[in-house]
A and B are shown apart, each in its own frame.
Chain A
Amino acid sequence: MTLRSFGVVGVLALAGLTSVSLMGGWTASANLASTGQAPAASAPAATGPFTVDGVHSSVIFRIKHLNVAWNYGRFNKMSGTFLLDGKDPAKSVIDITVDASSIDTANADRDKHLRAGDFFSVQEYPTLTFKSTAFKKTGDTTFEVTGDLTMKGKTKSVTITVENTGQGPGRRGGEVAGLETRFNIKRTDFGMDYMVGGLSDEVGLIIALEGGRK
């Protein structure tokens, strides 16, 4: 969190909106707007991208153990922005960052191993990112999205199907939207090459995001 953000949290605390800020739902400029101050950005916010709400978003993965059963885990912290524009796909964007150290597989020892050098090596590579590079509308609510997926310092272009799962008014004003995508990757493509065989090379990912904008 930047020094400026700390200041914003302080203003929000006085206004009784700390909980909203702590939920990470909106950007600092949006919060400033809610206090009646002038927004920092000059761009029209209503058409801008949605800021990921980490509390209501999920990044889930599955990997096959001993070639018999899928085991599921998740990342608990993520941030970023997205916009799926059906009328003008060129304006669409997905830019998300996942905190690799927030991995959670419901087993503390396993999580320690996953955070260490054998797998995510979070002290070398603290984040996983996806940045879209091209959008193509394929249905009423679906898009074919090409983007750069970066894990463990290696970037690979992937093409995924993204569904716009909804858009509407937020509980505290503004607007919220959601998207979901499910796709598979080969972890060895990203230098995560340990214990393939015991743990499958193929990893399934489900990314379901909710974001808000004022």
Chain B
Amino acid sequence: MSGLVLAQADQPAGGMDPAVRQFLLGALISGGLVSVLLLATWWKAGARQRAGTADGSPAAGANSAPPGGLTRHAVAPLAMGGAFVLCAHLLLGGLNWPPASADTWLPLAAVAAAVMGLTATAVRLPAAVRWVVRGVLVAALAYLSLRNFLGRQETLAAVGYVAGGTIWTLTTWWALEKLADRRTGALAPTVAWLLGVAVSQTVVLGLFALKGAVAAHVVAAAAGAAMLTAWLRPGFSLGFGGVHVPAVLLGLILLQATALADLSVPHLRRVVFAGLLLGVPLAAVAADRLLPARLTGWKRTGATVGLAGVPAAAALAWAGLERFAAAEESSGY
């Protein structure tokens, strides 16, 4: 066990609800750290590029060199991955080696995604190679982190969990990257933040995964820091590796919460939650492509995020209704 565990220190009698304290600390540590690092890196670049549109300027294409230099783009994956590892150490039970239970793989996933993000700033592999590498990474994380659980399932079910989690993560990754590569500004970070919040609240309300909810909340806070950076420095872009950490972590968190939820949660409900949450980045990509070109700047971002919020709201509403209905029977805890 690690020694420094902020939220796990003996607390005085009463005091703040420990779950609320973990959510607050997660937001402060992750959001604060990523904000400072991103703003420090992008401040001058944002000032230079501010002459462009307020938000939503076309970013460099997928195969172009990253605007603003390699170093600047490398900060997002490093900051997000580092913030998650720090929060896992302080809030989520510490860092464990070798990882045993499913959640202890999350910091490793953060490191792996950050390294891939860092690599993406320097090396742009052909798309086919890139997606094969990503698929192998995500499938390996899904299998290794859930191997104890998968070993107790029928072969078909085990394959279904790994394949489903991999497809969910890769699709989310593709969608966020599409948004980040197409436009500078707040769109991609805001969609990542929205997805993080939706995953966090859905897994805690619908799947009884409070630890997963805090972990997703930490990811959302990092995306929120990127959103703040984009508001202040419109030249900011999450392209070139910036979406790797949120995509990989949110996919793994949702998969683990889905697999390890209490048996009383019907499987159909789990699948629908995952489907609705996958609809968040996909709706954003669809809206970004279909909205009229005359809609620009914050209005475009607002409309896109608003449409992406529809499936998120549906998932949250269903999870919330199920939880409150159950709470009436068991008087909460």
Contacts and interface: CB of A to CB of B under 8 A. Distances in A.
A110 B330 contact: yes
B101 A153 contact: yes
Interface stretch (A45-53, A83-91, A190-198): A190-198
Interface in B318-333: 323, 326-327, 329-333
A188 interface: yes
Interface residues of B, number: 52
Interface stretch (B8-16, B118-126, B177-185, B220-228): B8-16
Nearest to B327: A109
A124 interface: yes
Interface stretch (B136-144, B256-264, B284-292): B256-264
A99 to B, nearest CB: 12
Nearest to B210: A118
B13 A66 contact: yes
Contacts of A121: 101-102, 149, 260
A112 interface: yes
A66 B94 contact: no
Contact of A117 (B103, B152, B265): B103
B14 A68 contact: yes
Contact of A107 (B18, B102, B207, B330): B330
Contacts of A67: 10-14
Given A67-B13, A110-B330, A117-B101, A123 B8 contact: no
Contact of B332 (A109, A117, A122, A198): A109
B130 to A, nearest CB: 31
Nearest to A67: B13
A124 B149 contact: yes
A126 interface: yes
A115 B262 contact: yes
A1 interface: no
Given A101-B263, A109-B333, A193 B93 contact: yes
Nearest to A109: B330
Contacts of B329: 108
Contacts of B146: 124
A199 to B, nearest CB: 8
A195 B17 CA distance: 10
A198 B149 contact: no
Nearest to B2: A193
B128 interface: no
A200 to B, nearest CB: 8
Contacts of B233: none
B71 interface: no
B209 interface: yes
A122 B260 CA distance: 8
Interface of A: 66-68, 101, 107-113, 115-118, 121-126, 152-154, 188-189, 191, 193-199, 201
| The 8 A-B residue pairs with the shortest CB-CB distance in the complex, in nearest-first order | A198-B18, A193-B93, A117-B260, A196-B8, A110-B333, A112-B262, A108-B330, A124-B148
7 contacts: A107-B332, A108-B326, A109-B332, A118-B208, A191-B100, A194-B93, A198-B21
Interface of B: 1, 5, 7-15, 17-19, 21-22, 92-94, 96, 100-104, 146, 148-149, 152, 207-212, 256-257, 259-265, 323, 326-327, 329-333
Given A112-B264, A121-B102, A195-B7, 17 more contacts: A67-B11, A67-B13, A107-B331, A109-B327, A112-B326, A113-B262, A117-B101, A117-B256, A118-B210, A124-B148, A124-B152, A152-B101, A153-B101, A154-B100, A193-B94, A195-B19, A198-B19
